[in-house]
Each structure stands twice: as C-alpha cells, then as structure tokens.
Amino acid sequence: MMDCCFLKTHKPTRTITIRMRELEIKLQTLDTHPRPKVALEQYTVPANLAARILFRACYEFGDIEHKSVADLGTGTGRLALGAAMLGAEYVVGVDLDPLALKVAVKNCARMGSKADWVLTDIDTLRGPVETVVMNPPFGTKRPHADIRFLQAALKIGKVVYSIHKAATREHLERWFREQGSESELIMTDKMEIPHQFSFHKKSKGFVEIDVFRAVKG
C-alpha cells in the first residue's frame, strides 16, 4: 500500500453519495492508453490516487458536485469520469492525442456517464469552468510543460487541482505567488509508474508527488 499524507483536514461540506473505495474500484476498471507516448509523458493517474483527490475536491472543498469540471490532458478520462461519477453538472476532457480520446469515449460509454471530449491543444481553450482537475506532464521530457498546463488551467478555471513532482514544490509555490493565485498543498503521495517505456528498468517504480489546490488570483 502506498504512503499518503493529508496535509490539511476540512470538514465535509456535502453528503457523501459514493464511498471512496467504490469510486476507486470503478476507476480501476477503465481502460488505459494502449500505446502511450513518452514525449507526452502519458502516465495514467492510479485509480486510488485519482479517487482520493476527487473525493477531497468533492466532499471537503465542494468543488465537484453540481460544478462544471474540465480535465486538461485527460488521456483516457480517469479524472474526468471520476468527476462525473461524483455528480459534476458538466464534464469536459481535453487532449491532443486522438487515440487517448478514443479510449476515453469508450470508457465513458461503458460507465454510462456524460462528458464532452475535445481534441485540441490546451492553448486554444477559452473556458470558463468552475473546476479544473488534471495530471499534467511533469516537465521531464518537455521543459516547463507543467507550467504551461497550470497557465491554461488558471485561465479557464476558478479552482485547479493538479498533480506535480514533489521535487518542484518550491518552484511551483513561488510561481503561484507570482501569479497572485492562492495555492494550498493538500496532499503528498507516491505515484506508481508502471513499466511502459523501453528505458524503464523495473516492473514498476514510484515518484514522490504533490497535489496542489490553487484558486485563481
């Protein structure tokens, strides 16, 4: 079992209609990308991590249920569909990989969920939405890709939940301050990285991650 540290505890603001374990099981059944691209850093967020983030966003902060939610770099739709399961009023997943979105559409149909899927680059987005949830590239293959996603998210969303490498924490906290955005480190964890590229030497590995909640300045 992976370590998890919740940095702040908030009282639930809504009645829980789905248990976190149930949400995790549903997310685990979704198909992942059959041919992920290393240049796009296409790593599917683990179901247990996705469930914890979405559960907190929904039931502790009130940012999912009855809200409009966008998932930038949605891939096969795990975060977007999790938001739909938690009662988001409107969900849209955005990605520039047509194969990833093809899988997302199939996942959506199998879950009986409602969501829009948009094939485009994040720079074209105009918004607005109330909440953005995303697992952006860490920026290890494309420098500053993480910042580019944050810029797009804060342009269209009132509040943003985003996963990042813990090693970039100080840099991101400084960046949020410079943008005039109120940010909060709500979770630290270890994200499982499966063996999916030729340079991976182990069957799986782990990377320390932070989850930020940022409110547009």
**37-73 per-position pLDDT tens digit:** 877 777 899 999 999 999 999 999 999 999 999 999 9
Give the C-alpha separation, 183 to 176, whole Å.
Answer: 6
pLDDT at 36: 84
Nearest to 93 by CA among 63, 65, 113: 113
Kindly state whether residue 37 falls inside one of the protein's structural domains.
Answer: no
pLDDT < 50 positions in the chain: 1-12, 200
Whether 109 is in a domain gets the answer yes
Query: Domain for residue 200, yes or no?
Result: yes
**Does residue 33 form part of some domain?**
no
Q: What is the pLDDT of residue 198?
A: 54
> What is the pLDDT at residue 7?
37
Tell me, what's the pLDDT at 217? 82
Distances (CA, A) of 159 to 113, 205, 211: 23, 30, 13
The angle subtended at Cα 105 by Cα 101 and Cα 111, nearest 5°, is 140
Residue 184 lies in a domain: yes
Question: Domain residues for 163?
Answer: 4-10+17-26+44-215
Q: What is the pLDDT, as a whole number, of residue 25?
A: 97
Separation between Cα atoms, residue 84 and residue 108, nearest integer Å: 9
Residue 187 maps to a domain: yes
Number of folded domains that form the chain: 1
pTM for the whole structure? 0.88
